Amino acid sequence: MAHFNAREVEPASDLSRRLGLSFSNLALLTRALTHRSYVNEYSAVEDNERLEFLGDAVLDFTVGAWVYNRFPEMPEGDLTKMRSALVRNEQLAKFARKLDLGRALRLGRGEASSGGHTRDNLLGSAFEALIGALYLDAGLGAVDTFVIPILEEVREFILSEIHDPKSQLQEWTQSQRLGSPRYRVVGTSGPDHAVVFEMVVEVAGEVKGQGSGTSKSYAEHAAAQDALKNLGVV
């Protein structure tokens, strides 16, 4: 494994410039990037766990307000699903990777040499701590300015994820004790370079939906949507 070298860590001042964030108090940003393993080995005063706690609450509010305002017709249940999908650690780690926060994390030697700079839980926590630091330094408006463009970039992906008809059909059939839906290709059409798949989906042994698409995945998606409609679920 690579030997940890503290000099390779991006300074908070450089990160601030790179992200276009004008921190009045750079010590806050430095703390947001400091893992407890670093505090144990170096002369750092505080790790980022308190800022992570604050950032978690700020993100919950910021994302919730954005979802509420961005999708005025969305029912409460879907609002909750969308907010949850956006603030889960896996998604926050993706945001952190996009910002390349990993190279600015201050980790202890063991944590760094074992790949801590790329670990989801550390990256997600660091993103929350960054938001907490930004809130303390510049307020909620600065958080909105920074976070909302990031949310907009993944809007379509998250929407498709929470409205995935295959997942909805699976949840419904399980709630009705009907087992899992079964997808089956029943035909293809078109030339080799543009094959269209014809798909049916069976629930408890009966065909409940059909659909077509240029891939099996798209065809399953269409068949599940058709089944939900035929079953009166949507």
Q: Say how far apart CA 105 and CA 108 lie, in whole Å.
A: 10
Residues serving a catalytic function are 56, 128
Return the SS3 of 133.
Answer: helix
* Burial grade of 203 (CB within 10 A; 0-12, 13-18, 19 or more): buried
Walk me through the domains of the chain, giving residue ranges and CATH numbers.
6-162 (1.10.1520.10), 165-230 (3.30.160.20)
Return the SS3 of 184.
Answer: strand
Q: What is the pLDDT of residue 2?
A: 39
Strand locations in the chain (E): 182-189, 196-203, 206-213
Q: Which two tokens stand for residue 179?
A: 């087992």
Asked whether the beta carbons of 23 and 93 are under 8 A apart, the reply is no
In tens digits, what is the pLDDT along the chain, a chain of 234 residues? Answer: 333 444 479 999 999 999 999 999 999 999 999 999 999 888 767 999 999 999 999 999 999 999 999 999 888 988 998 999 999 999 999 999 999 999 999 999 999 999 999 999 999 999 999 999 999 999 999 999 999 999 999 998 888 778 788 888 998 999 999 999 999 999 999 888 778 999 999 999 999 999 998 888 888 988 998 999 999 987
Asked whether the beta carbons of 223 and 209 are under 8 A apart, the reply is yes
At 31, give phi and psi (nearest 5°). -65, -40
Q: Which two tokens stand for residue 25?
A: 């108090």
Q: What is the pLDDT of residue 195?
A: 87
Q: How are the residues of the chain apportioned to helix, strand and coil, as percentages rounded to the nearest 5?
A: 65, 10, 25
Look up residue 181 and give its amino acid.
Answer: P
